[in-house]
Amino acid sequence: MNKKSIIIATVFAFALSLTAFVGVGISSDGPEDITLKTAEGKKPSIFPHKAHQKMEGMECATCHHGKDADGKQAPYSGDSKDTQKCVSCHNKDDMANLKLNTFKLAGHAQCKECHKAKKAAGNKNAPTKCTGCHPKKKQ
């Protein structure tokens, strides 16, 4: 698998987790925003789901993927019933890939790589710094 395929697969996995992790099914409408947080609850991220859906070239399968009967990554089926939480695969106990074996690592790999590519293409609205996705708590 080449590097580009791995990045795309990671982005796909993270997006799947975004809706599944917070218990929201995937649909063409989707929620406006999704708050993503790890089990530890540290530094949640606010994901503008609706805004991403409206972007050209951003189909559900751009970010979401599924799992086949053998537990391997499979293309997104388009059926929200097949959507599982990212942590069902991206966890330290079951995933051998140490670069993607937590929800946080999978999310950072997927989002940051996509945002870096968008920024390199001239999109100034693709945050690549921590505070772009993880807003500071209001005092």
Per-residue confidence at 16, pLDDT binned at 50, 70, 90? very low
**Whole-number Å distance between alpha carbons of 96 and 91:** 9
DSSP code of 87? G
Is residue 138, in this structure, part of any structural domain at all?
no
Q: Give me the chain's average pLDDT, please.
A: 77
* Model pLDDT for residues 48-104, shown as the tens digit of each residue: 989 988 888 888 888 888 878 887 888 888 776 666 777 778 888 878 889 988 888
55 located within any domain: yes
Structural domains counted in the chain: 1
Note whether residue 106 is domain-resident.
yes
Between CA 59 and CA 79 the distance in angstroms is: 13
Whether residue 139 is contained in a domain is answered as no
Q: Return all residues near 10 (Cβ < 8 A) that are at least 6 apart.
A: 100, 106, 109, 110, 113
Residue 117 binned pLDDT confidence (cut-offs 50, 70, 90):
very high
Question: Residue 53's domain spans which residues?
Answer: 3-133
Q: Does any domain span residue 125?
A: yes
Burial class (CB in 10 A: 0-12, 13-18, 19+), 19: buried
Of 87, 64, 71, residue with least CA distance to 14: 64
Give the pLDDT band of residue 122 (cuts 50, 70, 90): very high
Q: Which of residues 11 and 126 earns the better pLDDT score?
A: 126
Residue 79 domain-assigned?
A: yes
